[in-house]
Structure 1
Amino acid sequence: MTALTHRDILAIRRDRGSSVLLFLTDRCPVGCAHCSVDSRPDSPRITDFALLESLVDELASMPELTMVGISGGEPFVERRGLTLAVRRLSEAGKRVVIYTSGFWAASPRAPEWIDRLLPLTTAVYLSTDAHHVNGQGPERFVNAARVIAGTGVPIVVQCIDEGDNLAATRASLTEALGPGWPERAELIPTHGLPHGRGSAHYAWQRRTAGRDFGPCDVVDATVVRYDGRVTACCNESVIMGAGPAALRRDATDGPAVGRAVREFHDDDFFRAIGSVGPGALTALPLHRDLADREFSSICGLCWAMTKRRTGGNRHDALLAALAGLTE
């Protein structure tokens, strides 16, 4: 299957309904102080493998899905679950993208099950920064980069742009892959999120008037958690239960997961949030009072609007027309 670049992945995610994110576990052994989902070594993990198998099979059977991302927590702590998901999704022709800290690369050689799994993916996002290095040391990132590159799978390195993080990451990539590393890996600067443990380290930089928010870039792909929870976006707080209940569905089997995914993808309100953005919706009578109100993030404005929705009606002719302006 054709390898994917970061730009390719973003384009698929922005093609509404073409992808989902499988949130495979809450657990992570690294314990970074800035974790946006508060993942810990003792956090919940998969217990109902029959449910996981059912929801993975459902995602594999959905013809409109061309890509499935797999994250957590740290997905590599779930050997059984990750193996099941990657194999079945790749066999169904889905592009599989894994998000990892590389904690599994304690030595230059990866465990055999990982060596077998990586070639079934189309890209691996490898995260690092000072917090990751403090939690697991710099050598695991170097080992992970070498292992992934050795399979020919593209690497997208995500690194928080603060202090000397980017310079240190470039040095580690040079150590791992040589001076020509940009031909084998992309380095994407990111920013810390004030969610989970990250709320103690980061804050939204400024408040913005509702009318000034543009399109949301994370609402076009839903998130499916290992326990059947489906969310309209990848906001970590929403996944963990915060925010309006209308942003979540709790499914008990694969078919219910599929219905929830399609409901979110087809919802005209969320389509409009992702296309013209919530700022444009403040021109509507229902939300006009939010135009001048200031919010710390686009999520705050979206939550305020979501709470005003009544009746669970997913279809609205005006919102559909607005969404269609840019789709």
Structure 2
Amino acid sequence: MRLAEMMTLRQTIGAGLLVTLTERCPLHCAHCSSASTARGRRLDAGALLRFLGTFRPELRPDVMMLTGGEPLTRPGLVVAAAEAAGARGTRTAVLSGASFARGGGRLPDSVRQVARAVDHFSLSLDAHHEREVAREDVFAALRALLRIGVATSLHLVGEGEDDPYLAQVTAQVRERFGTEVPMLVSAVRPVGRAAAWARPLPAPDASVAAGCGMAAWPVVAVDGAVTACCNQDVVDGRARPAHLVLGDLSSTAWPEVVERARRGPVLRMVRTVGPVHIAARGGEQPSCGGGGYCDTCHRLDDLTGARRWAERAGAGAAGELLQEAALRAGRGGGPATLLRRHGAGRYGELVGAVRPEGGSTHGAGKPVRTGGETTPPEDRSVHPGGESTGAGAGPVRPDGPHRGGTGEAGA
């Protein structure tokens, strides 16, 4: 399963599920959106597996993304969740900070087991991660993962599209790996540890209808809540307005979650015109500053005029049609367009770094497993002697829960 395929599904309601397995992480990155530590909370494993058991072959997400914290602090649960979801037709991706790669990039046995169980394995890389995990160690881990046969990608974070770090590292990844490692490039947001130093975002324009493209995939928070939002405040439980709550692992089945995600009138209008425009149409004052878009969404339950307007506009068949039109328009430009809006500008195209086979990009370049580990097709990263061959090629941001400081818990 390629990164571009996941991002193509990112604005389809219920096509994906984001799961926060843990708040724990052995790294201490200065930009971590979840401010993870070694002592954070952990998701109830039994509750998660019970919930995954409510998937049905005809009604289940296409992809489940496992994040943290560092999800590989719970490798057994990653494997068990991937197997439970896979039995019902759902593919699994995992996003790791690559702490296991320190000291040469060797894959521990537990990580190899995870790599064989999942359909996509993504690693984080940025200037902050590199203070704890060397870039060459991450590259070595990528080569080892590709030999196993699992599709890989990199989640890169920078200070914006003009950050020299992003230009340098994306060029090096393409030189080393050709088209085998697509990249999802994001900008640091002032959330989590980065709140103390990252630049604030520009204030939103209330006159412009700007629907939320990140409210399509349900999110399982570490406390078991299921929400419609991947914003870190919602995932951590600091903000849980009623229109963003879809259920709880202990009491809700997947069909109920999807039904609520599709039919909530306020949530429909959040996707269609966005919370700031809802506030303006309801005669209310949106929140100011760079966090105003999400902060306004968190306040909608308390903005009576705005909530009533959204409940009317989003109700019934008309509300459903408005929502579908907005989502269809958002999907129109493909994943690169989505990531140019939510990521680091011009790097959005790197999400699709896939070599076509026979005119199709579906499954392109996937190594063929012939019983053991294999060399990736046309692996250009290293000669047998170790020198780079210099191949070139020419990626979430999904604000899904991940420990990358992109601002919303990514994709």
TM-score by length of 1: 0.84
Q: Which residue pairs with 1:302 in the alignment?
A: 297
Aligned partners of 2:272 and 2:326 also within 8 Å: yes
1:11 equivalent in alignment to 2:8: yes
Deviation at 1:168, TM superposition (A): 4.7
Partner of 1:222 in structure 2? 218
Q: Which residue of 2 aligns with 1:245?
A: 241
**Cα–Cα, structure 1 residues 181 and 279, in superposed 2: closer, same or farther, change >3 Å?**
same
* Counterparts in 2 of 1:185 and 1:216: CA distance versus 1, 3 Å: same
User: Is the counterpart of residue 142 in structure 1 residue 136 in structure 2?
Assistant: no
Q: CA 1:62 to 1:306, structure 2 compared with 1: closer, same or farther past 3 Å? A: farther
Q: Does 1:98 align with 2:97?
A: no
| 1:4 Cα deviation from its structure 2 partner | 1.9
- Partner Cα separation in structure 2 for residue 295 and residue 254 of structure 1: 37
Contact 1:244 1:306 in 2 (8 A): no
Residue identity in the other structure for 1:296? G
Distance 1:222 1:203, change over 3 A: farther
Could you tell me which residue of structure 1 aligns to residue 393 of structure 2? none
In 1, are the aligned partners of 2:17 and 2:64 still within 8 Å (CA)? Answer: yes
SS of equivalent to 2:207? helix
> For 1:156, what is the secondary structure of its paired residue?
strand
Map 1:48-197 to 2 at 5 A.
Answer: 48-59=44-55, 63-106=59-102, 107-162=104-159, 163-170=163-170, 173=173, 179=175, 181-197=177-193
User: Cα deviations across residues 140-189 of structure 1 (Å, max 9, x unaligned)?
Assistant: 31232112222333322121233442245347636xxxx35131011232
1:322 CA drift (Å)? 2.6
Shift of 1:116: 2.9
Once residues 60 and 133 of structure 1 are traced to their aligned partners in structure 2, the CA distance between those partners, rounded to angstroms, is: 41
Please tell me the residue identity of whatever aligns with 1:85: A
SS at match of 2:14: coil
Structure 1 residue 257, shift from structure 2 partner: 6.3
Residue correspondence of structure 1 range 254-293 to structure 2 within 5 A: 255-256=252-253, 259-282=256-279, 284=281, 287-290=282-285
Higher relative contact order (CA 8 A, sep 6+): 2
The structure carrying a bigger helix percent of its residues is: 1
Q: Which residue of 2 aligns with 1:236?
A: 232
- The number of residue pairs the alignment matches comes to 315
Paired residue secondary structure (1:173): helix
**2:392 match:** none
Deviation (angstroms), 1:34: 0.9
Moved more, 250-259 or 100-109: 250-259
Paired with 1:44 and 1:58, the residues of 2 have a C-alpha distance of: 24
Instruction: Give the Cα separation in 1 of the matches to 2:295 and 2:188.
Output: 17
Tell me the residue number matched to 1:316: 315
Alpha-carbon distance in 2 for matches of 1:127, 1:216: 25
Structure 1: 5+ residue stretches without partners: none
Change (3 A) 1:78 1:231: same
Residues 260, 164 of structure 1: alpha-carbon distance in 2 compared, 3 angstrom cutoff: same
Q: Aligned-residue CA RMSD in angstroms?
A: 2.9
Write the letter of the residue equivalent to 1:5.
Answer: L
Deviations 1:247-300, CA, capped at 9 Å, x for gaps? 33662526456534542343232223223433553564xx23347x74524212
Q: Secondary structure at the match of 1:69?
A: strand
Change (3 A) 1:211 1:64: farther
Structure 1 counterpart of 2:202: 206
Further displaced range: 253-262 or 263-272:
253-262
* In structure 2, distance between residues paired with 1:60 and 1:34: 38
Residues 120-156 of structure 1 show CA distances to partners (whole Å, capped at 9, x for unaligned) of: 3332222111110112333431232112222333322
Partner amino acid for 1:300? D
Secondary structure, counterpart of 2:166 in structure 1: helix
Three-state SS of the structure 2 residue aligned to 1:185 is coil
Structure 2: 5+ residue runs without aligned partners? 328-411
Alignment CA distance shift 1:105-1:199 (3 Å): same
Q: Percent identity?
A: 23
On the 8 A contact 1:34/1:192 being kept in 2, the answer is yes
* Partner SS, residue 36 of structure 2: coil
